């Protein structure tokens, strides 16, 4: 077993969140770019992620999938980067709150909005996110408590939920609000975020290479 970090991604995917996190962590990693379509669904890659989706991270013989889990894992695996409140800190409650709010309600609400799947008002009590207006209100609440989501320090929760806020506003799945825009402008300017965007932008294949 080695301790190598291998990052499976596509430059136009949620893998951009993990790239940002890896750049924040600052440890060496190797990127495996997976083409959408048959390669991603082939047995070789399903041995890494049976879902046949990106991103995935392999750290030695451990595989982590799911953007939020990968971000949280990296923060814990490399504590010197200071990307999570330390174990025992009550701020971990806030940190987990926003990580999981992103992975559950925000992800579902944004996907349903993108697909124009409307929740009938009488079923909002059944749906985990209730209604989009409340999700956006909650996001405003999350970014309004301080500079970052979990106290004064930037954490993996900012990488993950921040990415959903920023890209959600960009793609029109999350309504723009001044507090959300100000928060996104603040975190998207971080050197690691800028570096990550540049790396992924350079990896975007020309259209013909993606046609199958």
Cβ proximity to ligand GSH, 38 vs 146, nearer residue: 38
Q: How many alpha carbons lie under 13 Å from residue 105 in its C-beta half-sphere?
A: 21
Among 14, 19, 58, 59, binds ligand GSH (CB under 6 A): 14
Q: Which two tokens stand for residue 83?
A: 């990307």
Which positions from 180 through 199 interact with ligand GSH, judged by CB under 6 A?
Answer: none
Q: Under DSSP, is residue 69 helix (H, G, I), strand (E, B) or coil?
A: helix
Among 8, 13, 102, 149, binds ligand GSH (CB under 6 A): 13
**Nearest distance, CB of residue 199 and ligand GSH, angstroms:** 17
Residues 6+ apart with CB under 8 A from 5: 22, 27, 28, 29, 30, 57, 58, 59
Is 36 near ligand GSH (CB under 6 A)? yes
Cβ proximity to ligand GSH, 63 vs 179, nearer residue: 63
Q: Give the binding-site size for ligand GSH (rule: CB under 6 A).
A: 10
Cβ proximity to ligand GSH, 97 vs 186, nearer residue: 97
Cβ proximity to ligand GSH, 103 vs 137, nearer residue: 103
Which positions from 64 through 123 interact with ligand GSH, judged by CB under 6 A?
Answer: 66-67
Cα 118 to Cα 111: distance, rounded to the nearest angstrom? 11
Q: Please, are residues 5 and 27 in contact by the beta-carbon 8 Å criterion?
A: yes
Q: Annotate 90-131 with three-state secondary structure.
A: CHHHHHHHHHHHHHHHHHHHHHHHHCCCCCCHHHCCCCCCCC
Cβ proximity to ligand GSH, 23 vs 66, nearer residue: 66
Which positions from 39 through 68 interact with ligand GSH, judged by CB under 6 A?
Answer: 40, 52-55, 66-67
Q: Please, are residues 77 and 5 in contact by the beta-carbon 8 Å criterion?
A: no
Q: Please, are residues 71 and 156 in contact by the beta-carbon 8 Å criterion?
A: yes
- Dihedral sign for Cα atoms in the order 50, 4, 201, 67: positive
**Nearest distance, CB of residue 102 and ligand GSH, angstroms:** 9
**Nearest distance, CB of residue 66 and ligand GSH, angstroms:** 5
Cβ proximity to ligand GSH, 33 vs 179, nearer residue: 33
Q: Which two tokens stand for residue 210?
A: 């993606």
Residues that bind ligand GSH (CB under 6 A): 13-14, 36, 40, 52-55, 66-67
């Amino acid at each position: 077993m080695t301790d190598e970090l291998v990052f499976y991604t596509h430059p136009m995917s949620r893998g951009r969140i993990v790239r940002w996190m890896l750049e924040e962590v600052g440890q060496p990693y190797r990127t495996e770019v997976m083409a959408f379509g048959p390669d991603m669904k082939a047995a070789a890659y399903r041995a890494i992620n049976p879902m046949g989706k990106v991103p995935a991270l392999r750290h030695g013989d451990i595989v982590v999938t799911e953007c939020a889990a990968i971000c949280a894992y990296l923060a814990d695996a490399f504590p010197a980067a200071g990307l999570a409140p330390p174990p025992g800190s009550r701020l971990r409650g806030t940190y987990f709150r926003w990580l999981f709010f992103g992975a559950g309600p925000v992800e579902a609400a944004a996907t349903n909005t993108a697909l124009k799947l409307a929740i009938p008002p009488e079923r909002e009590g059944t749906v985990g996110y209730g209604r989009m207006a409340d999700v956006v209100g909650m996001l405003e609440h999350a970014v309004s408590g301080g500079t970052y989501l979990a106290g004064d320090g930037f954490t993996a929760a900012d990488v993950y939920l921040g990415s959903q806020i920023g890209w959600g506003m960009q793609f029109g799945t999350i309504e723009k609000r001044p507090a959300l825009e100000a928060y996104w402008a603040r975190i998207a300017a971080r050197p690691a975020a800028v570096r990550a965007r540049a790396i992924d932008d350079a990896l975007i294949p020309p259209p013909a290479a993606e046609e199958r």
